[in-house]
């Protein structure tokens, strides 16, 4: 199938989903952040097409939507991986070794300078100023799961487990086709 047609179908499906989100928020301007949070949760970032659609549907300038999206750190304009890996770099975590964990994962993910998401779109690696979990640091959070008292070795084991989990469904499909 033509990739242009696939892209158009994907965009149409996304805008339909955004429309449902807007309906849940009753198109209220004071619900803009809630709508953006819903889009972010669904797509792991805020696609430009979605923000333009939200602006039009809510009757507000696109600059306002983009302004809110860029003001709050919780929003991203870049696509994030399936697994969002956050390493706390607050004072307590930093003192207890968060930086080597970050550097180890950056190497494992083969992230070139300036990139935070792996080329396969599976992992996004970020640092966070503080997660408020100083007593159990260094802390690594993957999506919503907190991993306490991390070390570089432990972080790699966790990532390898996720990679293995990702490979299992593909291996099962390949085995099924071979049968």
CA gap 131, 5 in Å, rounded: 42
CB under 8 Å to 8, separation ≥6 — which residues?
none
Top CATH class, 83-178 = alpha beta
Cα–Cα distance list, 146 to 49, 85, 92 (Å): 32, 10, 16
- Phi first, then psi, for residue 123 (nearest 5°) are -125, 140
Per-residue confidence (pLDDT) for residue 127, from 0 to 100 = 93
pTM of the model: 0.68
Could you report the per-residue pLDDT of 30-78, keeping only the tens digit for each? 999 999 999 998 888 899 999 999 999 999 999 999 999 999 878 888 8
Question: Which of 22, 4, 155 has its CA nearest to residue 88?
Answer: 155
End-to-end CA distance of the chain: 28
Label residue 140 exposed, middle or buried (CB < 10 Å: 0-12, 13-18, 19+): buried
Per-residue confidence (pLDDT) for residue 178, from 0 to 100 = 62
Per-residue confidence (pLDDT) for residue 73, from 0 to 100 = 78
Q: Categorize the per-residue pLDDT at 1 as very low, low, confident or very high, splitting at 50, 70 and 90.
A: very low
Mean pLDDT of 148-156: 97
Where in the chain are the domains?
3-71, 83-178
CA gap 148, 136 in Å, rounded: 5
């Amino acid at each position: 199938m033509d990739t242009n047609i696939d892209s158009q179908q994907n965009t149409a499906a996304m805008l339909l989903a955004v429309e449902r989100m807007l309906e849940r928020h009753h198109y209220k301007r004071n619900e803009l952040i809630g709508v953006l949070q819903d889009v972010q949760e669904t797509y792991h970032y805020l696609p430009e097409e979605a923000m333009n659609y939200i602006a039009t549907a809510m009757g507000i300038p696109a600059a306002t939507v983009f302004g809110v999206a860029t003001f709050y750190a919780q929003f991203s304009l870049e696509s994030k991986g399936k697994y969002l890996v956050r390493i706390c770099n607050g004072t307590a975590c930093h003192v207890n070794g968060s930086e080597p964990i970050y550097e180890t994962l950056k190497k494992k993910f083969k992230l070139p300078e300036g990139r935070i998401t792996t080329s396969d779109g599976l992992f996004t690696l970020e640092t966070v100023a503080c997660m408020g979990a100083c007593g159990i640091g260094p802390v690594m959070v993957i999506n919503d799961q907190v991993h306490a008292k991390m070390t570089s070795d432990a972080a790699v084991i966790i990532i390898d487990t996720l990679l293995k989990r990702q490979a299992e469904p593909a291996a099962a499909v390949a085995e099924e086709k071979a049968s």
